[in-house]
Amino acid sequence: MTLDQKFQKKQYDDIWQEHCGFLDFSIFEYMAIQKRLLIEQIELYSNCELGRRIMKGKKPSTVDEYRQVVPLTRYEDYADLLLPKIESALPSRAILWIETTWEGGKNPIKVAPYTESMLKCHKSSFITCMILATSNKKGQFTLRGRENFLYGMAPLPYLTGIVPYVISDEFSINFLPSTKEAEKMSFGQRNKTGLKMGLQKGIDLFFGLSSVIVKISESFSSGGNSGGINVFKNSPKMNYRLLKAWAKRKQEQCEIKPRDIWTLKGLICAGTDTSMLKKKIEYYWGVKPLEIFGGTEPTCIATETWSKNGLVFFPDVCFYEFIPKSEIEKNIDDPSYIPNTYLMDELVAGNEYELVISNLKGGAFARYRMGDIFKCLSLSNEEDGIQLPQFAYVDRDPRIIDIAGFTRISEGTITEALELSKLNITDWFAVKEFDEYKRAFLHLYVEVGADGLQGAITKDIIKEHLSIYFRYVDTDYNDLKSLLGIDPLMVSIIPAGTIGQYCSANGRNLRKMNPSPFDVIEILKAARSGSGKEVF
Amino acid sequence: MPLLQLFFWAVPIGALLSYCLLMVFFSISQKDKYIRTFMLVLAALIVWTASTLFMRLQLYPGVLFWNKVMVAGMFAVPFFLYYFVSIFTNTLNNFSTILWGSMTAAAIAVDFMGFVVTKASIITHPAVENGRRFTSVEFSYSLGVMAYPIYILMFLLILTILLKAGMSFRRGGITHGRIALITFGVLIMFVGVLFNIIPAIGKYPVDILASLINAVLIIIAIYKSRMLELRFILTKGIVYSTFALILTGLYIYAVFSVEKHLGNTSKNLMPYFTTFSALLVAVAFQPLYRFTRIVTDKMFYKAEYSHRQALRSFSANISNNLNLDDISREFIEAIQMAIHAKHILILINNREKQHYYVYRTSSQIFKPELQISYDNPLVKWLESNNAGLSREKLYSLPFFKSMWEKEKKIFYDLDIEVIIPMKSRNDLIGILMLTRKVNNTAYTLDDLDLLAYLGSSTAVAFDNARLYTNAQSEALTDSLTQLYNHRYFRKALSEQMAKIGASEISLLMIDLDLFKLFNDLYGHIEGDKALELVASIMLRIVGQKGIVCRYGGEEFAILLPYFDSKRAFDIAEKIRLEIQRTFFNSTDVTQRFLTASIGVCTYPYAAPNAEELLKRADLAMYTAKNQGKNQTVIYTPRVFSSVKLYDTSEEGLKPSYAATIYALTAAIDAKDHYTFGHSQRVAGYATILAGALDLDKSHLVIIREAALLHDVGKIGIPESILTKIGRLTEEEMEIIKKHVEMSITIIKHLPSLNHVIPAVIGHHERWDGKGYPRGLKGENIPLLARCLSTIDAFDALTSNRPYRAGLDIETALKEIQNNIGTQFDPRITNLFIELVRNGTIDVEQSIKISKAI
C-alpha cells in the first residue's frame, strides 16, 4: 500500500510506526540492526573486486573482525574504480551515480553508486524527515499528501535531486516548480520561480540549504523577492493572506516576513552552518526548522525529531563508527597514526567525533572517513522518550573549510592557488570565521617573503588570485557571491617570519587549516608586537 | 387480478419493503464510508419508491404532488449513485461532485415548479377477466417542457457513472467482477428510467423494478469486495426469522388453499383433510426449512461455515495423533478447506542447525528451499508475538529493518501474504506461511484468528509428536554417543538380514584398545568424550551406507548391508586410521591416545546366519586384539586374513623398550650431569610409593617407566640453560617448561609406552591448578602424575644444583610438607613423607648409589 493510500485511509498511526517507529528502539535494538545489516554488507562486499581490495581478500565473519581487517578509507581508495564507473567491481548493481565536488581531490568531482535498495532506503528516510518536519509531538504530524513543496535543492546528479523522483511513486506532492520544469532551470531561477509559485498556490513544505533559506528570507523581507505578484493568478486564500500582510506592514510599519504570508507545515534544512542559522529561519518562517544530515557517499543518514533539538542517525542506512576528537588531532599531527573508532553504543555525551560510515545495502564505501564532526549531545532524550544518542553537527574536519554548505576548501587547494599565483608568499594559515550576520568566510593569513615588494603585493591582489583559482576548481564558489551575497574570502598579511618564530618557540608545527584559536591569538599577538608591524 | 395489475402494486411494495429492511440493517450495522454512501442511495430509492406507492394510493395531498416527489427521488438516485461510485472506485473529484450536485438540485427545483410533469392522475375503472371482476388502476401523466432536457441530463449523469466505472476497471482499481456488477446494475436502471419517456410503458413501475435490481447488484458488489461481511448487516436471528416468516407464509397459504379447494367440494371431510394437509405440508416443509438453514449458512456465513467445518474436521483428525506427517497433512487440509490459499507452507524447527525449514507444503510440486535462521528478525518477532504477520507489516514495521534484502526477496518471490507463529508453551515450534488466496481477496481478521487458532493447536500437536518421537528414539539410542543402542542393533540385524535376501551384509565389531586404562588415566569424563569422538568419526565415515550402533561399553557394531568383505574392510580401515590419526598423531601434546581393533565378518560367505555373523565378527575382533591391537581382521572360514600394522603386544616389545628407556635416561643424565641419577632415584621412590598406595602391578610398571622417562624432554633443552649457574630468566624458565611437551613428543613415537604419557605430562601440574602445561587441578591430575610431582620435587631439593647445595632430607621434607595442598596432593605427599621417615624409602642409600655410579 502506498503512502497516498494510507493517507486516504487515515492510517496515521501506521504511517508513524513505519517511518518513525525506529525512534522507539533501545540502543540494543538499534545496534542489533546495525550489526546484522553490516554482516549482509560484508557478504556482498566480499564477492566483488572493490570489496576484496578494501578487505584485503579476507571475509570477516564478525563486526569486530571487519573493523580490524578494513582500514579507514578516503575517496582516493575508491577513485580508480568509481570515477570510471566500473559497475562490475561493485557489490551490487548501481541504478544511479550521484556526483559531488571532490574537495582537494585529484578530480573535480567524485561519484558514488546507488543501488536499488539504497534508493528505497533513501526514500523512506526522506519521508521520515518530512513527517518529522510536520510534527511537534510524538505520533502527531500534519503531512497528508498533495502539499505544495518549495524544494530549493540541487537537481540530479546531486544527492538532493533524487527525492522528487523517489517519493513521487509513494505519495503526491506538488513541487514548486514541478520537477520537469526545475530540471531546465538554474539553482537561483528555481528558487525564484518556486517562491513566485508559492505566492500563487501557497507553500506547505520547504527544504533548502540553511544559508539559502536565510538569504531568500532576507531578500523577501526587504521586498526583493516579492515582485511580480499577480492577484489574478493567486488563489483567493493567498490574496487574502497578501492583503493581510500588506495591511500589517502599513499599520505596524514593519517588513513582511515569509511567515506573514505562508503557514508552513514543515521546514527542512541542511548545511554546515545550520546550527548558526536555525533561529533566524524560525524567525522568518514561524516554524522550527528540522535539520537533517546527508552526503553523497552515505545518503540521508540523520534527522532531528519532533522536538527539533538533536540529530538521530537512521539505523539501517549506514554502519556508523566515530573517531574522538583527540584521535583526530593525533592523526592530523601524525598522518601515519591510525585513529581508534567507537560504535554508537560506546560514545560519551559531550564529546566531539568524526563520522566514519560503511554503506549498507550494497553501497561502495567501507569505513569511509566522512570528514564531518558531530557532537554527541546526550545518549538519550528523556523528554521525548528517545533512547538513542542525540547529535549536533559541528563542522567539517578542521582540515576542510566549508562555507555555507556550498564550497569546501582544503589545504591542497590553497597551496595550489598560492603556487599558481606566483606571489612570494612564504607561509600562511587559514581559519573559518563568521561575520556579524553569522555568515561563514575563509580568513587567510599570509606572510609575504622578505624579497617581495610588499607595497605591490596587496591583499587585493592575493584575494583576486585566489578567487579566480577557487572559481576555477569549484563552480559553487561563484554561487556564494551571486546567490548568498557572501564574500567568502578575507586576506590578512602578517609580518614575514612570525609563523616560523612561533613554531620554533613552541617546538611544534602550526596546523595550516583551522589551527587552534589559542595558536591564532598568539600568532596575531606576536605579529602585532614582535615586529612592530600591524596585521593588515 | 391480471399480471399487469399485480405488477403495478407488487413491484413498488416489494421494492419499498426491501429498501426499508436494508436501511434498517445498515443503520444497526458497523458503518464504513461505503455503507454510509450507499445509505444515501438507499434513502433516495426509498423516496422514489414510497412516493410511487403513495401516488398509486392517491394519498393526500394528491397524485401530482407525489408524482413530483417521485421524480425528485428519481433524479436524486443517479447523483447519489455517482457519489457512491466515486467513493467505491476511489475517484472522488470535488468539483465534478459539486457540479452534478448543483445540477441535480436545480432539476429537482424545476420539477417542483411543475416543468417536468404537468399532469398526473390515476384512472380506475371496473374490468372483467376470465369472468372475474376487478378494478383496473392505470397511471396517466403528461410531461412538461423541461422534462426532456432534464432526462437528458440524468442520462448524461448515468453515462458518466458508467464511464467512471469503466475507467476504474481499465486502471485496475477495482477487480472486474465487482465493477461489472455495478456497471450492469446502473445500466439496468438506465434502461428502466428510459422507459419513463414512453408514457405507454412509463405508466407501469418498470423504473422501480430496474432500481431494485440495481440496488441488489450493488449490495452483491459491496459484499464481494469484502468491505463488508454480510453477517455484520444481517444477524443470524434476522436471517432465520425472515426465512421462517416466508416459509410460514407459504405454509399458511398452502393450508388455506387446500382448505378452500376442499371447502368447495366436500364440506364434511374438511376437518380431516385440513388436519391431514397441515401435517403433509408440515412434513414437506421441515426438510425445506432445514435446507434453507444450510443454504443460509453457506450463502451468508460462507467464511464462518467453512471455518467451522475445517475446525471440526481438524480437531477430530489430530486428536490422539502423534505422527508429525499426519498432523501436518491434516493441518494443511484444514487450512485449505477454510481459507483457499494458493500455497501453504509449514516450516519446522531444526534445533541442531538453528533454523526453520520447509517441512510440508500444500502442493507436491511446490517445495521451495526456504530456511529461516534463528537470527532472522522474523523469528524474533514471531517468538514475541502471538498474532499473525501480514505481508504489509513485514515490509513496513521498523522491527524488520534488519532483514536482509535477499531475505525480503524470498518472501516477495514466494508471494507470502500471511505468516503465523506455531507456538506451544511459548516455544516457536514452527511457522505457517500462506500465499495469496485463490480468488485474490484479502485475508480477513476472521481468517487470521482461525489461522492463529489452528497454528497454536497444531504447534501443541507437533510438540507432542516431537516429544513422542524423541522418546521413541531415546529408547533406541545411546544417550552418550547418540548412536543406536544394543537393542536397536539386534532388531536392525534381523531386519537387515531379512531385507537383503541373497545379497551380502558385513558386520564390523570395533573395540577400543586399552580403554579401561584410558579411563583410569584420564578419568571417566575424558573417556566419555573419547567415546563421543569415536562415534562421530564412525558416523562421518559410514554416513548413509550403514547402521552404526554402540554395542556396549567401548564396543561398537556397524552393519553394512550390500557390502562385501573387501569394501567392509576398507571402511573398517578408514575408521581405524581416523581414530589413530585423531588420538595419536595429534600435534597437541595434551591430546589423549586411543586405538581400535576391528573384526569383520560377511554374510553369507563367512557366516550362515545372523547369530554366527555376530559371533564370528566378535572372534575376528578378539583376534585383532590378541595380535597386538590397532588392526583390522577379516574372518574367513579357513584362515584369518589379517592386516598387521605393527606388533604392539607388550611381551614382544619388552626387551627393546627396556633398552630404549635406559638409553634415553642415560642420554638425559649425560646432558645434565647435575641431575645425574635423578630419573633412577625418582623411579625407585615412585615404585615404593605406588606399592604403598596399593596400586596393582601394571601401575607399578607404568610409574617406574614414567619416572625414568619424565624428564626425557630435557634432551631438547639447551645445555647452557640446563646447567646455568644462577637464577634463570623468565624466558629461560619458559624454555625449561617446554621439556614436558618435548617428553611427550618423544614418547609418542614409542607406541607401547604411550601409557606413561598421563603420568609424564602431569608431573609439573600443581594441586591448586597453577602448574603446567595444562593447569589441571586436584584430582583431575592423573594419580601417577601426582606421585611423580611430589617425588620429583623432593629429589630436586635433596640434589645438588649449580646454584645451591642439596638440602638435607628433613629440611627437604619440611619444604615439601609446607606445599601440601598448594603444590602437592595431601594424601600422597603425607604417605611419601611417612615412607621416607620410616625408612621404607631409603633416600641416603639411593643418593649414595647414584654417586657411586
How is chain A split into domains, by residue range? 400-530
- Residue that finishes a domain, picked among B262, B284, B300: B300
B332-358 pLDDT tens trace? 888 888 888 889 999 999 888 899 999
| Residue A397 DSSP class | -
**Domain check: are B64 and B190 in the same one?**
yes
Does B290 map to a domain?
yes
What is the mean predicted confidence (pLDDT) over B77-106?
86
Is the CB of B405 inside 8 Å of chain A's CB atoms?
Answer: yes
Please report residues of A whose CB lies closer than 8 A to that of B391.
Answer: none
**Residues B417, A166, A1: CA angle, nearest 5 degrees:** 25
What are the distances in angstroms from CA B122 to CA A426, B149, B382?
115, 26, 71
What's B343-367 look like in SS3?
CEEEEEEECCCCEEEEEEECCCCCC
B631-655 pLDDT tens trace? 899 998 764 444 443 344 444 445 4
Task: Assign A269 to helix, strand or coil.
Answer: strand
**Domain check: are B267 and B328 in the same one?**
no
Please report residues of B whose CB lies closer than 8 A to that of A24.
Answer: 398
Q: pTM to 2 decimals?
A: 0.59
What are the distances in angstroms from CA B853 to CA B307, B439, B666, B680, B682?
99, 103, 12, 11, 16
Out of A39-48, B322-331, B528-537, least confident range: B322-331
CATH number at residue B380: 3.30.450.40
Contact: B392, A1; criterion CB under 8 Å:
yes
Q: What is the pLDDT of residue B653?
A: 43
Out of A199-213, B382-396, B662-676, B701-715, least confident range: B662-676
Is the CB of A12 inside 8 Å of chain B's CB atoms?
Answer: no
Q: Which CATH architecture has domain A400-530?
A: 2-Layer Sandwich (3.30)
The cell numbers describing B232, all together, are 455484520
**Minimum distance, in Å, between the CA of residue A367 and any CA atom of chain B:** 19
What is the mean predicted confidence (pLDDT) over B294-316?
65
What are the distances in angstroms from CA B706 to CA A373, B265, B285, B757, B850?
67, 129, 104, 7, 19
**Distance, CA of B660 to CA of B799 (rounded, Å):** 25
**Residues B679, B682, B683: CA angle, nearest 5 degrees:** 85
Q: How many CB atoms lie within 10 A of CB B525?
A: 10
Is 50 exceeded by the pLDDT of residue B490? yes
**Domain check: are B287 and B314 in the same one?**
no
| Residue B89 DSSP class | T
**Domain check: are B451 and B521 in the same one?**
no
Contact: B396, A25; criterion CB under 8 Å:
no
**Domain check: are B634 and B698 in the same one?**
no
Q: What is the pLDDT of residue B652?
A: 43
**Domain check: are B468 and B384 in the same one?**
yes
B256-287 pLDDT tens trace? 776 666 655 656 666 676 677 667 766 776 77
Q: Are strands A205-209 and A147-152 parallel, antiparallel or unpaired?
A: parallel
* Optimal mutation site among A40, A118, A361, interface B, most CBs of chain B within 10 A: A40
What is the mean predicted confidence (pLDDT) over B36-61?
84
Q: What is the pLDDT of residue B62?
A: 84
Please report residues of A whose CB lies closer than 8 A to that of B401.
Answer: 22, 33, 37, 315-316
Alpha helices in A404-474 (DSSP H): 411-421, 459-473
The cell numbers describing B281, all together, are 405440508
Q: How many CB atoms lie within 10 A of CB B231?
A: 16
Contact: B404, A40; criterion CB under 8 Å:
yes
DSSP A288-342: PPEEEEEETTTEEEEEE-TT-SSEEE-TTTEEEEEEEHHHHHHHHH-TT-----B
H or E stretch at B475: helix B445-476
Residue in A411, A400, A492, A510 with CA at minimum distance from that of residue A445: A492
Which range, A250-254, B174-178, B465-469, is most confident? B465-469
What is the mean predicted confidence (pLDDT) over B487-495?
90
**Which residue in chain B is spatially nearest to A37 when comparing CA positions?**
B402
Residue in A201, A159, A158, A157 with CA at minimum distance from that of residue A178: A201
Q: Check: CB of residue B394 under 8 Å from CB of residue B376.
A: no
Rounded to the nearest 5 percent, the helix, strand and coil shares of chain B are 65, 10, 25
**Which residue in chain B is spatially nearest to A24 when comparing CA positions?**
B398
Q: What is the pLDDT of residue B846?
A: 73
**Domain check: are B427 and B560 in the same one?**
no
**Stronger pLDDT, B378 or A215, i.e. the higher one:** B378
**Domain check: are B313 and B283 in the same one?**
no
B112-159 pLDDT tens trace? 888 888 888 877 777 766 666 666 667 777 888 888 888 888 888 888
- Residue that finishes a domain, picked among B268, B300, B332: B300
Is the CB of B412 inside 8 Å of chain A's CB atoms?
Answer: no
**Distance, CA of A89 to CA of A45 (rounded, Å):** 10
The residue with cell 545518503 is: A299
Per-residue confidence of chain A (536 residues) as pLDDT tens digits? Answer: 889 889 888 889 999 999 999 999 999 999 999 999 999 999 999 999 999 999 999 999 999 999 999 999 999 999 999 999 999 999 999 999 999 888 766 777 899 999 999 999 999 999 999 999 999 999 999 999 889 999 988 888 889 899 999 998 888 899 998 888 888 888 788 888 888 888 888 899 999 999 889 888 888 877 655 555 566 666 777 777 778 777 777 777 778 888 888 899 999 999 888 888 999 999 999 999 999 999 999 999 999 999 999 999 999 999 999 999 999 988 988 889 999 999 999 999 999 999 999 999 999 999 999 989 999 999 999 999 999 999 999 988 888 888 877 777 888 888 888 887 777 788 899 998 888 777 888 898 988 876 555 555 667 777 888 888 777 766 667 777 776 777 788 888 888 888 888 888 888 788 888 888 888 888 888 887 755 455 55
**Domain check: are B612 and B685 in the same one?**
no
Is 90 exceeded by the pLDDT of residue B399? yes
**Minimum distance, in Å, between the CA of residue B403 and any CA atom of chain A:** 7
Q: Check: CB of residue B495 under 8 Å from CB of residue B559.
A: no
Residue in B388, B446, B396 with CA at minimum distance from that of residue B417: B388
Residue in A430, A423, A141 with CA at minimum distance from that of residue A290: A141
**Distance, CA of A350 to CA of A368 (rounded, Å):** 23
Residue in A39, A76, A70 with CA at minimum distance from that of residue A52: A70
Residue B37's domain comprises 3-229
Q: Chain A window 283-322: which residues touch B at a Cβ cutoff of 8 Å?
A: 315-316
H or E stretch at B435: strand B427-435
Q: Are strands A147-152 and A173-176 parallel, antiparallel or unpaired?
A: parallel
Residues linked to residue A116 through DSSP beta bridges, in sequence order: none
What's B759-828 look like in SS3?
HHHCCCCCCCCCCCCCCCCHHHCCHHHHHHHHHHHHHHHHCCECCECCCCHHHHHHHHHHCECCCECHHH
Q: How many CB pairs below 8 A link A and B?
A: 35
Tell me how many domains chain B contains. Answer: 5
**Domain check: are B671 and B723 in the same one?**
yes
Does B479 map to a domain?
no
- Residue that finishes a domain, picked among B229, B254, B278: B229
Q: Which of B90, B392, B402 sits opposite A32 (nearest CB)?
A: B402
The cell numbers describing B220, all together, are 452483491
CATH number at residue B78: 1.20.1070.10
**Domain check: are B724 and B700 in the same one?**
yes
Q: What is the pLDDT of residue B591?
A: 52
CATH number at residue B541: 3.30.70.270
**Domain check: are B729 and B804 in the same one?**
yes
CATH number at residue B691: 1.10.3210.10
Contact: A316, B402; criterion CB under 8 Å:
yes
Contact: A361, B392; criterion CB under 8 Å:
no
Contact: A22, B401; criterion CB under 8 Å:
yes
Please report residues of A whose CB lies closer than 8 A to that of B377.
Answer: 36
